[in-house]
Amino acid sequence: MAYGLGYLGMYSDNLERASQNPRRDGLNAGLAGIGYLDPGPELVARLNAQAQYQDYRYDVAPDGTIYYADAALVWNIRPQFLSWTVMDRYDQVTEDATRPDSPTNRVGANVFTTGPDVHFRFGPVNSWSLGARYGNLMYAEGRTGYDRYGAYTAWGYRSSPELLYSLNYQYAQVEYEDPVAFDNFRRHDAFARVDLRRSRASLAIDAGYTSIEQDRGTGDDGFTYRLTGSYRMNPESTAGLLVAREFLDPGQALLATVAEAGTAPGAAPPPAPVSTESVADFYYAFRAEIFYRYASAASSIEGRVFYRDIDYHTTPRDRDESGLRLDVTFNPGATFMPSLFYYRTNVRYQEFTREDHYNETGARALYRSTPNLSTMLEYRYRWQTSSDPLLDYRENGVLLSIVYTSNPAVPTVVPRYR
């Protein structure tokens, strides 16, 4: 267990990211967090929870406390036979995806899931797994969430220590807090999986069919697939890809950002931006993404290119998204670490004529005066161009953070300002 404390100071010349009459503001924030990391074997766990009290000088955005949580736990009650899983994610998500992302366009959301897994083994190669899950999605400020009840079964055949084949069936029932205004649904997923794990490479392929039945609506169905892979080219370089077509909902998208139990928190982007406007809807999404990571004593580089085609069942927000992310850090692991970054996202809406092009670039410098104490100074420049000129904006921002953590190996506090 570790704890962390910190301070975040920020100045923006256009906090609301408005095209006209921009308003500047400054932020003073106090941060406190805890972290826990246990690689097992009986309890494989990871927890990172953080509270951030924010005080805006000119009150352009509301003051108050915002929260973050990223937790995953697997309790091996009887190893290789009975286990219990818990996952939770709390984050600030977009309220309206068609408006610029800003502190005045965010709301807290929490997704949670838990349940048992039982594994029966028939000799060295065949196995049968059963599991059940309960989960929920909750939004702050009274927005409608849901409860999710589910179960799964899977038959596995391990042809070698590195290669596993399986046949899978999953069932989920989603019940909204307001079933009159929102349509409950049941989901059936049947798919085959091939999972290859080697010392330098991993590959997982799913292919199957999904059917969604609504209480009152027409539901939807279609073929689904997912291919994920990574390859470690040498001790310094790793590349990977993801190609998938699947049905998702906001809760699943947010839960997908939870890091695995026993590992440090990741920064996995959600399969689609999570927003409250689509809380009672599911979507059929195609995604393609490639990434590359390089790390040496002198520098580290991380790049990611992505494309998404999002087709909501009823919400009029269908869109194509594409973009890239690039981070370059010099002297990683040293006392002083400068870095540069650039992000770009292009959005083209399909149900009304509009295209947005968002860009963000900047530089940061991180200084570790001791292993437990670090200071970061950062400059960011954001700008957006749109076919709707009322959505064009530019913003300059400066951030300063000071963080103390009792154990640098366990993440506790991360200064957050999007």
- 365, 388 in Cβ contact below 8 A? no
Instruction: Look at residue 383 in the predicted model and tell me its pLDDT.
Output: 97
* DSSP code string of 368-380: ESSSSEEEEEEEE
- Residue 371, C-beta contacts closer than 8 angstroms, at least 6 positions apart: 408
Question: CB atoms < 10 A from the CB of 328, how many?
Answer: 16
| Rounded mean pLDDT for each run of 10 residues along the chain, 418 residues in total | 95 95 95 91 91 94 92 93 94 84 87 96 94 92 85 96 96 90 92 95 96 92 96 95 92 79 53 62 91 94 95 88 96 93 95 94 96 96 96 96 93 81
Break the chain into its structural domains and give their ranges.
2-405
What's the predicted TM-score (pTM) here? 0.88
* DSSP code string of 214-235: ESSS--EEEEEEEEEEEEEEET
Rounded-to-integer distance, Cα 194 and Cα 210, Å? 18
CATH of domain 2-405: 2.40.170
Instruction: Look at residue 345 in the predicted model and tell me its pLDDT.
Output: 95
- 60, 21 in Cβ contact below 8 A? no
- 365, 337 in Cβ contact below 8 A? yes
Instruction: Look at residue 267 in the predicted model and tell me its pLDDT.
Output: 46
